[in-house]
Amino acid sequence: MASERIESASFWHDTLEPGDDLAPRPPLAGDADVDVAIVGAGFTGLWTAHSLLRADPSIRVTIFERETAGFGASGRNGGWCVGDFGGPVSAVERKGGPGSVDAMFREMYRSVDDVGSVVAAAGIDCGFHKGGALYVATNSGQMRRVRHHYQGLLRYGQDDAWQLLDASAAKDKVNMAGIRGALFTPHAAALHPARLARGLAREVERLGGVIYEGTRIKHIEKRKLAAEGGTVRADVIVRATEAYTSTIDCQEREVLALGNYMIATEPIDDAMWEEIGLADRELFELSAILLGYGQRTSDGRIAWGGLGAPTWWKGRIPQTPMRNVEMEHRLRRALGEMFPPLKEIGVSHHWGGVLGVPRDLLPGVGYDRELGFAWGGGYTGQGVAAANAAGRTLADLIRGEESELTSLPWVGHRSKKWEPEPLQWMGVHAVTAGARVVDEAERAVAGLRGRA
Ligand SMILES: Cc1cc2nc3c(=O)[nH]c(=O)nc-3n(C[C@H](O)[C@H](O)[C@H](O)COP(=O)(O)OP(=O)(O)OC[C@H]3O[C@@H](n4cnc5c(N)ncnc54)[C@H](O)[C@@H]3O)c2cc1C
């Protein structure tokens, strides 16, 4: 009998550090009593545990993970560790007042470096490389968006951290067909996300934390978790389930689960890399409304995703492995258009994941001491560096330490809930369908001009 093919969650899960076979840690078996119980072993949960234990190894920190550490978005993303945060900056300023946007940006830049130094100190082999990020335009609509983005950054005093490149300077960094210009920031690193998540989980254990895998939390109550396998009593409960929050009882409308799909190419040879560029492994984003994001991986492929964002009725999340043939084709076609030498390149992997979007698009972290309840997430696709900041902030909040982190404008923020169905589904589909039409129209106009 032919053996069944086990399909992995992503390219990243297929290329973990040698010796990491994703064997699950034991589940919770019986009741437990801990100081801090964290639900979810993605970047938010892991950085929170790591930061708490780094500050005070005597705190009894336990993470409860439904699958395995790094199973969610943290293990499957584009590996963009960038000094930016999800959500409109004007809304951040409205909430935090003058100087708050700058403070958020500076903390995100620091987060990129903090990830780099933890990775180096712990010896996590996740290909971390700080070569910056390019936000590229290949048509006039995208160029307008890039300029608008840049003007906004200038308004908030970020001119030392972002640079507007003309077509020729942008082409020097990445030889993309039809490139018209780009925005560049050095505050960004490419990394292998699943290796980072898995390595962080080991680091949390080394520092004294406990991780139960295969342990679903069914319900969160005041200082109590109803888990599969037992009841957990905790002084503090941290909800770190981002897009999966909707699967926990009574939390269905807190965060919208938005799908995102990626592909990875076969390794690209050196001659072709000479032609493409990205010599410093700069991350690259296509500035469409439904944007696309890519990285040159440490093993010489392109991992490329985005260009669409499906949602599902009542926030239902598809089974893993997540596949979407239409998205795979769209990503392949766009890659060939951007890099004509790659038109025929093989695609070794296609996968999807879910990211979390709050109703007002603003991410938030917070701790309600009275309830013993903390939360973090809603990064809208910008969670790799931001989750590091969130984890460090949550650790300070839980320990009662006032710091620069605890006065950031996203602290204490809770978005209002999403609308009930069918309004949520209809609204989100209308917005993404509209965005798709504009992106395609801009692409078509650029194509016609190119042929003229
Ligand atoms: C395809 C894709 C590409 C992305 N690209 C980027 C990028 O390049 N750069 C960037 O900054 N951001 C990116 N993001 C977003 C980023 O990955 C996320 O914002 C971030 O990883 C969220 O981390 P988290 O720990 O909050 O959530 P997750 O990583 O989703 O972790 C939540 C964990 O909770 C567990 N869980 C869920 N329910 C329960 C339960 N009931 N009981 C116990 N455990 C539970 C899940 O199994 C999961 O492991 C991308 C996201 C996707 C999906």
Q: Of the residues 25, 38, 65, 217, which should be mutated to test ligand 1's pocket, given the most ligand atoms within 8 Å of the CB?
A: 65
CA distance 415 to 402: 23
- Do domains 25-129+188-254+359-418 and 133-185+256-357+423-452 share one topology? The answer is no
Which pLDDT belongs to residue 6?
43
Does residue 390 line the site of ligand 1, with CB under 6 A?
no
Which pLDDT belongs to residue 449?
63
Nearest CA, atom 20, ligand 1: 383
Q: Of the residues 85, 241, 255, which should be mutated to test ligand 1's pocket, given the most ligand atoms within 8 Å of the CB?
A: 241
Does residue 200 line the site of ligand 1, with CB under 6 A?
no
Does residue 310 line the site of ligand 1, with CB under 6 A?
no
Does residue 45 line the site of ligand 1, with CB under 6 A?
yes
Nearest CA, atom 13, ligand 1: 381
Does residue 320 line the site of ligand 1, with CB under 6 A?
no
Q: Determine the topology of domain 133-185+256-357+423-452 in CATH.
A: D-Amino Acid Oxidase; Chain A, domain 2 (3.30.9)
* In the chain, where the domains are located: 25-129+188-254+359-418, 133-185+256-357+423-452
CA of 111 to the centre of ligand 1 (A): 17
Which pLDDT belongs to residue 95?
87
The 8-class DSSP code of residue 238 comes to E
Alpha helices in 317-382 (DSSP H): 325-338
List pLDDT tens digits, range 389-441.
Answer: 999 999 999 999 999 999 999 999 999 999 988 888 888 888 888 888 888 88
Does residue 365 line the site of ligand 1, with CB under 6 A?
no
The position carrying tokens 């598809």 is: 318
The segments of the chain whose pLDDT lies below 50 read: 1-6, 451-452
Tokens of 449: 């001009």
Which pLDDT belongs to residue 248?
86
CA of 383 to the centre of ligand 1 (A): 8
Nearest CA, atom 18, ligand 1: 383
CA of 376 to the centre of ligand 1 (A): 11
CA distance 158 to 155: 8
Q: Of the residues 384, 394, 410, which should be mutated to test ligand 1's pocket, given the most ligand atoms within 8 Å of the CB?
A: 384
Does residue 246 line the site of ligand 1, with CB under 6 A?
no
Cβ atoms 96, 408 nearer than 8 A: yes
| Angle between helical axes of 100-122 and 89-96 (0-180°, round to 10) | 110
Which pLDDT belongs to residue 440?
86
Does residue 84 line the site of ligand 1, with CB under 6 A?
no
CA of 45 to the centre of ligand 1 (A): 10
Nearest CA, atom 15, ligand 1: 381
CA of 152 to the centre of ligand 1 (A): 28
Which pLDDT belongs to residue 7?
65
Which pLDDT belongs to residue 450?
58
Nearest CA, atom 34, ligand 1: 40
Does residue 40 line the site of ligand 1, with CB under 6 A?
yes
Nearest CA, atom 31, ligand 1: 42
CA of 328 to the centre of ligand 1 (A): 21
Separation in Å, CA 60 to CA 37, 144, 205, 367, 450: 9, 51, 11, 18, 62
Helices (H) and strands (E) in the chain, counts: 12, 18
Which pLDDT belongs to residue 451?
43
Cβ atoms 347, 265 nearer than 8 A: yes
Which CATH number among 2.60.130.10, 1.10.287.70, 3.50.50.60, 3.30.450.70 corresponds to the domain 25-129+188-254+359-418? 3.50.50.60
CA distance 72 to 255: 15
Backbone angles phi, psi at 116, to 5 degrees: -60, -40
